[in-house]
Structure 1
Amino acid sequence: MRLVFVNGGSRFKKSEDGRWFTDPNFTKEVWQRYMDLCDEFVIILRQERRIYSIAEAESRFNPVLVNNKIKLVPVEDITHPKCNIINIFKRKKITKTIRHEVAHADKIIIRSASFYTNICQKACIDYNKPYIFEVTGFIVEVMSHHSLMGRLLANYFEHMTKRMAANAECAIYVTDEALQKRYPCKKMLGCSDVVLNESNENILKKRLVHIDNKIRDLQAGIGVVKLGTAAFLDVKWKGQENVIRAIAELKKKGITNIQYEMIGIGQGLRLIKLSKKLGIENQVKVLGPKPHNEVFSWLDSIDIYIQPSYQEGLCRAIVEAISRACPVIASDTGGNYELINKDYIFPCGDYIKLSSLILTMKENYMEEAKRNFQRAAYYKKSRLDSIRSKFMKEFMK
């Protein structure tokens, strides 16, 4: 059985020693899910032109396991440089490569709508190849916070996503209901793609001790409330600037015992500049990327996790936060409402409301920690792996 995977959002990266890497969201566990289903697994991604140093590649990205079962098919990046968009020869070459792989495949996995997956989906129709569609986010919302071209093409890609879902043999969504309502398919499964460590009660116990100590320090006037966000640092749609503005609003009220830490890929120069402009640079820290195994210890160190995005499907960072019994505040986008207490959902971009929720949360740390930890059990790895595997094996028959 030959299985082809196509995604237009992520890129292959190459290191100086010739090894291949992908974005952090594609872990060994994710690739293994697919490899367990087939005899040959083909991955088609666009390739980043830059060659990374070994140290940078190993610290920022995930290596791709290469063996005789996996075939990597890097294709030209149609958007970098931008002149590639109008290069007919490169577009034809990409189309020929993708159609060739689809023609020789038994089954295809299409992840999200893009120039590349659109070619793939049309080839599936032409060659009568069954495909499963993985739906990870709301197209109009995410593209509306990209470039001018992204905003102009948002409705086109929204229609493309609906078409891909409607014509798929089946579809997997990262939400339980939010994405399904927008992009329906005849056969659907809601299953997050998060990878969580198996939880245990000690996590909750440690969090409650942490909260108890924090409350005691705050009452004594020596405590600092540490907020945190894990997201790409150099894209506007992740919304970290709204947390910074909320902290500035609280400072106007004389509340300065708040710190904000941001982790994620990027430099965050825009966010640092904003914090200086608002006079709160001493309260804001950009920590940069962290290996996935260090993210959980960082989550244990913060008091409130905030996800201020303008667009999400089902935010994996929130799932990881609640798995550590961390109180969470999030914007009202995507499937965020499926994860946390609706009392701690704020309208996208409303930093005034966010500032009030930060204050309110101080009174409800314990309750939110317990509630979130209980909710996280729904996303434990063993449960998700079981239902996903059953669904995928049915597709592969």
Structure 2
Amino acid sequence: MNWLFAYDHKFYTDGKSVLSKTAFPYKTWERYLKHSDTLTVACRLYPLIEEVQGYSVSSGKKVSFTAIPDASGYAYFMPYNKAIQAMRQAVRQVDAVIARLPSQIGFLAVKVAKELGKPYAVEVVGDPSETYRLHGSFKAKLYAPIAKRTMEKTVEQAPFTLYITEKELQRLYPTKGIQTSCSNTELPNFSRSALLTERKSRDLNKKIVFGMMGSLDSKYKGLDVAIRALARIKKELPDFEFRILGSGASSRWTRIVMQNGLEGVVDFYGTKPSHEVFEWLSDVDIYLQPSRTEGQGRSVIEAMAMGCPVITSDVGGMKELADPAMQFESGNDVALAAIITKVSENHALYCEQIERNYIKSLQFSKHVLTVKREQHYQKFMNWIEGQNK
């Protein structure tokens, strides 16, 4: 049995290995290789033009990668464009397709799987209408309602659907097929009791380290909201530092930092391999995620697992993660500033959030999610075998 995983994620090759900046280390593919003999990853694939530092190795045994040309824009709607030709060639060589949505490559994989009569399943990880609406370009805003309708139809008709949220994405994009809820964020199994105890003893009156993770190229992660919020209360707070982890150019944000008088306290850390992210989070006192849209909030889950009090906007799957008292209206930097002040001044609340978030994060432990995912894809396997009889 050979499967194909289709998603728009950008991978890079140095000629020997395939690498990823922000997700998909090789261990990610193990969840699919438990059910298939090989896995082909249909994706965006580019030559690596910078140092390998900060990347995770994604390639490995039984996993191959196939590049799909740009599937967006007008060419996507042409019957013989290069993207659909490449996808047809890839899907013909496998027994089943897993399409992660929303993504143009994912939608294309479903279209071709149907055309060729191949079994397929989908994984729902976000809301495309919000993503395109907040993209910034006029063309993206026009495409948002089309993306929403495509997503609705694709998910509704999918025979198997895995959602990364408990309720939110299910409400937006219901399916008639077999479904399960299973986050794509798997937390490693390691003891954090010593860290939690140390966190509770920290004196935030001396210094506070705020942290945030997200691509600097994204216009919807809300970094500007966090900067404005901290600027509002910088005179009320003790010494503080705001650390940002994420890929992309920092020049645009540096200008915003200076405009808000926060030069010298905001640091851009670039990217780190996935296994080093937890070490980075261990030094963060309060984690901020002011996104304007979010599928689930992988970084929020990771911060909670490290005992960070987290403050998030009230969008997407984050509504299911953070304490409601720690959520603010998306884009409202005044409300964010008020919650930051409350948490930093109230040590009892700070400790309460440490305990609450760690306990909440346990539902994302690898062994818990592995069982749910294996059961779902075993049903998919059984269905495929039934179809072939």
TM-score by length of 2: 0.91
Q: Where do 1:131-142 residues align within 5 Å?
A: 131-142=120-131
Alignment of 1:47-196 (within 5 A): 47-48=45-46, 50-53=47-50, 56=51, 58-67=52-61, 69-78=62-71, 85-86=74-75, 92-146=81-135, 147-185=137-175, 186-196=177-187
The residue that corresponds to 2:274 in the other structure is 292
For residues 216 and 121 of structure 2, the distance between their equivalents in structure 1, rounded to whole angstroms, comes to 31
The answer (yes or no) to whether the contact 2:305–2:357 under 8 Å persists in 1 is yes
1:376 aligns with 2:361: yes
Rounded to whole Å, the distance in 2 between the matches of 1:325 and 1:87 is 44
* Matched length: 377
Equivalent residue runs for 1:329-344 within 5 Å:
329-344=311-326
Structure 1 residues 73-127: Cα deviation after superposition (integer angstroms, max 9, x where no partner): 1122346xxxx85599996222122123323432110111333223222222222
Residues 5-20 of structure 1: pairs in structure 2 closer than 5 A: 5-7=5-7, 9-15=8-14, 17-20=15-18
Hey, what does 2:350 align to over in structure 1?
Answer: 365
- Alignment RMSD (CA, Å): 2.1
Query: Greater CA deviation, 366-375 or 31-40?
Result: 31-40
1:210 & 1:2 partners in 2: Cα distance?
A: 46
Residues 332-372 of structure 1 deviation map (CA, whole Å, 9 limit, x = unaligned) = 11011211210000111100000000011121111000111
> Bigger CA drift: 350-359 or 183-192?
183-192
Q: 1:245 aligns with which of 223, 228, 237?
A: 228
Aligned residue in 1 for 2:211: 228
Structure 1: how far apart are the matches of 2:194 and 2:38?
45
Residues 208-265 of structure 1: per-residue CA shift (max 9 Å, x gap): 33332314xx1xxxx11111001112211111111100011113x5445332110111
Q: Is the 8 A contact 2:70 2:83 kept in 1?
A: no
Q: Structure 1 stretches of 5 or more lacking a match?
A: none
For 1:31 and 1:87, how far apart are their aligned partners in 2?
28
Contact 2:312 2:326 in 1 (8 A): yes
Query: Which stretch of structure 1 is more off in the superposition, 19-28 or 148-157?
Result: 19-28
Is contact 2:132-2:144 (8 Å) kept? Answer: yes
Instruction: Give the structure 1 partner of residue 4 of structure 2.
Output: 4
User: Percent identity between the aligned chains?
Assistant: 27
CA distance in 1, matches of 2:314, 2:77: 41
Counterpart amino acid of residue 247 in structure 2: I
Counterpart contact for 2:55–2:272, Cα < 8 Å: no
SS at match of 1:229: strand
Q: Distance in 2 between matches of 1:371 and 1:52?
A: 43
Query: Once the 2 structures are TM-superposed, how far is the Cα of residue 71 of structure 1 from its aligned partner?
Result: 3.2
Gaps of 5+ in 2: 383-389
The CA distance in 1 between the partners of 2:78 and 2:164, in whole Å, is: 36
Shift of 1:153: 0.7
Decide whether aligned partners of structure 1 residues 157 and 209 sit closer, same or farther in structure 2, where only a CA change above 3 A counts.
same
Task: Label 1:297 to 1:46 Cα distance change in 2 as closer, same or farther (>3 A).
Answer: closer
> Secondary structure of the residue that 1:210 maps to in structure 2?
helix
1:250/1:256 contact within 8 Å kept: no
TM (normalized to structure 1)? Answer: 0.89
Moved over 4 A (4+): 84-91
Question: What is the Cα deviation at residue 385 of structure 1?
Answer: 0.7
Paired with 2:111 and 2:366, the residues of 1 have a C-alpha distance of 34
For structure 1, which segment, 302-311 or 110-119, has the greater mean C-alpha deviation from structure 2 after superposition?
A: 110-119
Please list the CA deviations of residues 251-299 of structure 1 after superposition, one character each: whole Å capped at 9, or x if unmatched. 3x54453321101112322211101011111221111112222211221
Q: Which amino acid aligns with 1:237?
A: Y
Q: CA, structure 1 residues 198+66, in 2 after alignment: closer, same or farther (shift >3 Å)? A: closer
* Higher mean C-alpha deviation, range 203-212 or range 146-155: 203-212
Instruction: Give the Cα separation in 1 of the matches to 2:200 and 2:266.
Output: 21
Preserved contact between residue 68 and residue 105 of structure 2 (Cα < 8 Å): no
User: Would the alpha carbon gap of residues 212 and 12 (structure 1) be closer, same or farther in structure 2, given more than 3 Å must change?
Assistant: closer
3-state DSSP of counterpart to 2:358 = helix
Say if 1:144 and 1:154, in contact at 8 Å, map to a contact too: yes
Question: Per the alignment, do residues 87 and 129 of structure 1 end up closer, same or farther by CA in structure 2, a change over 3 Å counting?
Answer: closer
Residues 208 and 366 in structure 1, CA contact (< 8 A), matched pair in contact too: no
